[in-house]
Amino acid sequence: MRCPFCDYQESKVIDSRPTDEGLSIRRRRECLQCGKRFTTYEKVENIPIMVIKKDKSREAFNGDKLMSGLLRACEKRPVSLQDLEKTVNEIESTIYNSLEREVTSHQIGEMVMQRLKRIDEVAYVRFASVYRQFKDINTFLEELNKLLKDT
């Protein structure tokens, strides 16, 4: 690792500790030439996952966008931010662990609905109404009837 002070190539690691719930490692280093200390962070490089949208366009997967949709669905509901973060992390892990480089927005939507159904049924119906683009009250009632039948 190159020293940010003197640009020397060699340094030694003084201390290492995990950060971000084990997703990265913080390393304190000391330059072998000037003796100054600096911090580096090491984390696994994720291969970008592309989302195939309904119109067949592609965009990079964005966990923040997923969180935004969940927050809208759960607005004014008794759902903790911790539950939503856990949901986003679960979905991200599922996507990255699938080893596929592309995922459809439909697959992501289904994962969200599956988890929302367990967390909060009202948030589930809100999300489903936007995701499935309910056209009228009958479509809405069909989804509610499915939900009642499942519980």
Per-domain boundaries in the chain: 11-43, 50-150
**Residue 40, Cβ neighbours under 10 Å: how many?**
14
Q: What is the pLDDT, as a whole number, of residue 149?
A: 80
pTM: predicted TM-score of the whole model, two decimal places: 0.62
Q: What is the pLDDT, as a whole number, of residue 126?
A: 86
Q: Sheet harboring 37-43: ordered strands across?
A: 11-19, 24-31, 37-43
Give me the tens of pLDDT residue by residue for the chain, a chain 151 residues long: 899 999 999 999 999 999 877 778 999 999 999 999 999 999 877 678 999 999 999 999 999 999 999 999 999 999 999 999 999 999 998 998 888 899 999 999 999 999 998 999 889 888 888 877 777 777 777 777 877 787 6
Q: What is the pLDDT, as a whole number, of residue 65?
A: 94
